Amino acid sequence: MGDFLPPLQPGHSAAGTAAAAAAEQDRLRRRFERYRQLHASRQQQYDSFATGAYHQQAHETQLLHRRWQDSKKPATTAAKSASAVAAKMPSRTGDAVPGGGGGTGSTAAAGNVTTV
């Protein structure tokens, strides 16, 4: 608002208009200078924030890449032998003793209840 000069009124001198134009130019110059200063200060803030954000994203990307690589590695021989032994062992379900546990027909062991 007020960025434009009012139209020249009849009866006003050209010297008054030139002074008003110079005052308007000074006002606009100061206004643009404030905008430049604000932009420069915000640019520094943005640069420092962006640098930190880029470093954090790069770190997270590296972590995700490592996790992906670890998931693609073949299992170690110890893990393979443990899983092979567990597969060969017979299942222990159905080995409950009938009627054991106070004659209620159920056995309670470590919080697990098995009904016979």
Give the residue among 8, 26, 25, 29 at the shortest CA–CA distance from 17. Answer: 8
- Radius of gyration for the chain, computed over Cα atoms and rounded to the nearest angstrom: 41
* Total residues belonging to the chain: 116
Per-residue tens of pLDDT for the chain, all 116 residues: 556 666 656 665 556 788 889 999 999 999 999 999 999 999 988 998 999 999 999 999 999 999 999 998 876 666 666 676 666 766 555 555 555 555 555 454 555 555 55
